[in-house]
Structure 1
Amino acid sequence: MKRFARVLLVILLATTGLALAAPAEATPYCGIAWGSLQKYSAATSIGSITGVRAGRHACYDRLVIDVAGKVDGYEVQYLPKRTTSKAEFAHLQITVDAAMIDPAGNFTFGSDNNFVLTGFSKYRTFRAVRGGGLMKNSGISLDVRARLPFRVFTLDGPGSGSRLVVDVAHRW
């Protein structure tokens, strides 16, 4: 009798166009499956940082580091949380294998070996960006509201330059 009921159910579903619901699988938010572990490239870069800027997107906040020349060497990782007078943030340390001065000793970005980006009050993830560097490696501190998934990649251009891009998701 049970077998007859199953066969009848299958015939009924097939003739009515209905289907049995498959178990729902959890899908990553906005398709994001990046993770929060260290990301790096051990290649050697040739160039200097000429700009750092941030942008907001629907599913993540983006930090772009402009380099005059090719950027290949970098390391991005979470460090222990940083506490400020107002809140506790997750701390992404970005090390770029690129200087912030040109061969003549002129600053290519920032001044006195330091820079700070402000205006993140409307960002969902970013809280603060600061950095500095002289000869070979430049360090950039990116404070985010929590330890969230991130990805890192490079883009060519504009011109003979390149960009290091760090995207941090709004949530897991």
Structure 2
Amino acid sequence: MRQLRKVATALVLTGVVVAGTTGTAGAATGQADKASSAAVCSTAWGSGTKSDLDSFAKPLTNIRTGQHACYDRMVFDTSGATGKVGYHISYVSSFQQDGTGTQIPVAGGAILQIYVNAPSYDPETGNVIYPGRPAQTLPGVNITGYRTFKDTRFGASFEGRTQVGLGLRAKLPFRVLQSGDKLIVDVAHTW
């Protein structure tokens, strides 16, 4: 009986030691995975204002979004634009419609205000090309389940530029890229 207790105690102790070792190895692996993941998703983008207004663009034809491993993405299409698509992007404490100053509520912990130098209408005919309506969510954009994006609002298309409010989970780093006739805004999931 005494021998059985010794074996049982040894097994229990071994189990505790093994579990402890496994837990430690698992924690170390988890930390390594996080470090590895953090290295892959490392961003030096910052959260300061980004602007490049020296440009010419055709009218805005579409706005779409996508999810990536490290960031959420918003793409502004200006089909047929030549040269760079101008922009001015910054965090704001409240989103106010360009031209009127009317405050538009935007859900989330932070608001990124995006101006794109591309009107939502044809400047020659006045015909609407991108059907955004003030204070409404962006047409055709569904951000349900996104990690960083929480809300989208159309502000205005005024004096040759279109204004969008992007509600985010928190104030996070972002970058701006150009690809042909597209302006791309990526907002990181973490710092």
Q: Same fold (TM over 0.5)?
A: yes
TM-score by length of 1: 0.72
**Alpha-carbon distance in 2 for matches of 1:91, 1:163:** 22
In terms of Rg, which structure is larger? 2
Give the secondary structure class of the aligned counterpart of 1:72.
coil
Give the secondary structure class of the aligned counterpart of 2:119.
coil
Change (3 A) 1:135 1:100: farther
TM-score by length of 2: 0.65
Contact residue 100 and residue 135 of structure 1 kept, 8 A: no
Corresponding residue pairs, total: 141
Aligned position for 1:34: 45
Q: Which has the higher strand share?
A: 1
The amino acid that maps onto 1:148 is: L
Residue 119 of structure 1, aligned match among 116, 130, 142:
142
CA RMSD, 1 decimal: 2.6
Give the secondary structure class of the aligned counterpart of 1:48.
coil
Contact residue 89 and residue 114 of structure 2 kept, 8 A: yes
**Alpha-carbon distance in 1 for matches of 2:59, 2:91:** 24
Change (3 A) 1:80 1:104: same
**Alpha-carbon distance in 1 for matches of 2:93, 2:143:** 21
Give the secondary structure class of the aligned counterpart of 1:31.
coil
Q: Does 1:129 align with 2:155?
A: no
Q: Does 1:64 align with 2:75?
A: yes
For residues 65-122 of structure 1, the C-alpha deviation after alignment (integer angstroms, 9 at most, x for no partner) is 001313431111001167x999652000001111111121111101556752353221
Contact residue 101 and residue 135 of structure 1 kept, 8 A: no
Change (3 A) 1:78 1:113: closer
**Alpha-carbon distance in 1 for matches of 2:108, 2:168:** 9
Identity %: 37
Greater Cα shift, 162-171 or 28-37: 28-37
Q: Does 1:94 align with 2:114?
A: yes
TM alignment of 1:1-172, pairs within 5 A: 30-68=41-79, 69-70=81-82, 71-80=84-93, 88-102=108-122, 103-111=124-132, 116-117=137-138, 118-131=141-154, 132-156=156-180, 162-172=181-191
The amino acid that maps onto 1:123 is: Y
**Alpha-carbon distance in 2 for matches of 1:45, 1:91:** 26
The amino acid that maps onto 1:96 is: V
Q: Which has the higher helix share?
A: 2
**Alpha-carbon distance in 2 for matches of 1:79, 1:154:** 23
The amino acid that maps onto 1:76 is: I
The amino acid that maps onto 1:145 is: R
Aligned position for 1:4: none
Contact residue 114 and residue 133 of structure 1 kept, 8 A: no
Contact residue 107 and residue 167 of structure 2 kept, 8 A: no
The amino acid that maps onto 2:178 is: T
